[in-house]
């Protein structure tokens, strides 16, 4: 899926694809000013918080280096029938931000269509799961203390400025579940300075970092952090452990008294590794993802006139002579081979207006679209979802 944000990230970081992800710290700047405000603005972030029932840890506020108790900026909104819904008290939140505070919205891609589409594009680009967190800091509020993440991050500064410090790792490629807590920061400072509007930074897993506006006076900072968790050798071994249950030898009790059977187990483990290579694991990982949320198609609400593919990863098209299989999210849909042109268009990851598509690939595109929507591989392109693509992803039929 071609996405304007991905093109801008590649240009800013000097990348030609996702292969460099996780390798080295690098930073740069986007030369597309209009893109920055299109992705997210401080007011839009606050508008999202105002209109939804959010709870900690989805939405948090920090002041003077400590988390503000939710009771200070959350209020139970009570309906005329006595139903209580927890909502952000925007008056209280505004007071905190006016004094200087940081608000964090975890998984902004769940609540905002632009963030949703951006994360999906990044997933198709990296072939890994992606989520985005948004950070709004006002005046001279501090940020998180020096810490490291157990995943790679791509940070985009969308408004204002923030001071950063990035250090080298103190343990090579540390993990969330690890043999070492990795609690001592590295001493080597790789980079320190201001991230300004339009700047982009890639911090690989395990690099210590911190960001703050302390001492910056009045002003603001908004940045989004795309968290990208790549598969590891440990992930592969965990997957193999699940497959081993297929073989009887692994289901037997271990003989702790006589010590017999270890050679046979070692041989069986080696055989299992050869049967389930790394490529199979990576493919299975993509297929194991659940189908995403989307608005269901109901013909009583109107005709299907536009769709877009919403799978977490690019669907696979497997041709078999007279038929073709569409494989995604653990689901396989078989269609006639003549549907291939329509499938390539509908599964491109770009919005498709069916009337215009029919003039390009034939009238059967509508029938194929209806099948893909029914199977939840494509979604109805509602005005809200469409807004996540506008000016960022071109229509598939242009």
Q: Looking at the domain assignment, is residue 224 inside a domain?
A: yes
Q: What does the pLDDT average to over 80-99?
A: 93
- Asked whether residue 362 is assigned to any structural domain, the reply reads yes
Overall number of domains in the chain: 3
The candidate with the shortest Cα–Cα distance to 2, out of 396, 397, 363, 393, is 393
Looking at the structure, tell me whether residues 184 and 308 fall in a common domain. no
Q: Kindly state whether residues 170 and 80 are assigned to the same domain.
A: yes
Beta bridge partners of 333: 326
pLDDT of residue 259: 78
Listing DSSP states for 336-384 in one string gives: EGGGHHHHHHHTSSS-EEHHHHHHHH-TTHHHHHHHHHHTTSEEE--HH
Instruction: Examine the domain organization and report whether 163 and 245 are in the same domain.
Output: no
User: In this model, does residue 105 exceed pLDDT 90?
Assistant: yes
> What predicted TM-score, i.e. pTM, was given to this entire model?
0.95
Nearest to 362 by CA among 375, 346, 378, 383: 346
Mean per-residue pLDDT over the chain, rounded: 95
Mark out the alpha helices in the chain (DSSP H runs). Answer: 4-13, 33-39, 42-51, 70-73, 90-99, 113-126, 233-243, 248-251, 262-275, 278-288, 340-346, 354-361, 365-374, 383-387
- Tell me, yes or no, whether 157 and 274 share the same domain: no
Q: Is there a single domain that holds both residue 136 and residue 251? A: no
Q: Is 376 domain-assigned?
A: yes
pLDDT at 333 (0 to 100): 98
Query: Per the domain annotation, does 394 fall within a domain?
Result: no
Q: Say how many C-beta atoms besides its own lie within 10 A of residue 57's C-beta.
A: 11
Confidence band for 17, pLDDT divided at 50, 70 and 90: very high
Does residue 221 share a domain with residue 237?
no
| Helix, strand, coil percentages, rounded to 5, for the chain | 35, 25, 40
Helix axes 4-13, 113-126, angle to 10 degrees: 60
Are 153 and 208 within 8 A, CB to CB? no
Determine the pLDDT at residue 130: 98
262 and 276 part of one domain? yes
For the residues 200-228, what does the mean pLDDT come to? 97
Residue 396 lies in a domain: no
Do 251 and 333 have their domain in common?
no
Same domain, 122 and 256: no
Is the pLDDT confidence value at 260 over 80?
no
292 inside domain: no
State the pLDDT at residue 212.
96
218/362 same-domain check: no
User: Domain limits at 170?
Assistant: 4-229
Residue 144 has φ and ψ, to the nearest 5°, of: -65, 150
């Amino acid at each position: 899926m071609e996405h304007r944000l991905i093109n801008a990230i590649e240009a800013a970081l000097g990348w030609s694809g996702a292969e460099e992800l996780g390798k080295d710290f690098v930073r740069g700047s986007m030369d597309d000013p209009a893109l920055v405000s299109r992705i997210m603005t401080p007011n839009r972030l606050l508008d999202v918080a105002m209109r939804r029932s959010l709870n900690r840890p989805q939405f948090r506020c920090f002041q003077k280096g400590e988390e503000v108790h939710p009771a200070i900026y959350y209020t139970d909104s009570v309906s005329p029938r006595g139903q209580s819904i927890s909502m952000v008290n925007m008056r209280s939140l505004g007071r905190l931000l006016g004094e200087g505070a940081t608000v964090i919205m975890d998984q902004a891609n769940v609540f905002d269509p632009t963030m949703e589409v951006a994360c999906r594009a990044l997933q198709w680009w990296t072939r890994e799961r992606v989520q985005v967190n948004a950070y709004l800091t006002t005046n001279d509020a501090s940020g998180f203390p020096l810490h490291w993440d157990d995943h790679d991050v791509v940070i985009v500064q969308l408004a204002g400025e923030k001071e950063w410090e990035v250090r080298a790792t103190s343990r090579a490629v540390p993990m969330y579940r690890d043999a070492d807590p990795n609690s001592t920061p590295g001493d080597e400072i790789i980079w320190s300075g201001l991230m300004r509007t339009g700047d982009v930074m890639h911090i690989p897993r395990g690099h210590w970092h911190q960001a703050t506006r302390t001492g910056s006076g009045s002003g603001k900072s908004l940045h989004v952090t795309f968290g990208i968790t790549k598969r590891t050798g440990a992930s592969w071994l965990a997957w193999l452990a699940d497959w081993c249950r297929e073989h009887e030898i692994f289901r037997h009790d271990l003989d702790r008294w006589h010590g017999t059977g270890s050679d046979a187990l070692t041989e069986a483990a080696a055989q299992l590794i050869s049967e389930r290579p790394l490529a199979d694991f990576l493919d299975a990982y993509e297929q194991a993802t659940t189908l995403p949320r989307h608005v269901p198609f109901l013909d009583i609400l109107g005709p299907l006139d536009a769709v877009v593919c919403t799978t977490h990863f690019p669907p696979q098209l497997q041709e078999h002579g007279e038929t073709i299989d569409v494989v995604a999210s653990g689901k396989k849909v078989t269609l006639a081979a003549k549907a291939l042109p329509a499938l390539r268009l509908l599964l491109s990851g770009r919005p498709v207006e069916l009337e215009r598509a029919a003039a390009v690939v034939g009238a059967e595109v509508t029938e194929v679209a209806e099948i893909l929507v029914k199977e939840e591989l494509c979604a109805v392109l509602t005005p809200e979802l469409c807004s996540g693509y506008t000016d960022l992803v071109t229509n598939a039929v242009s």
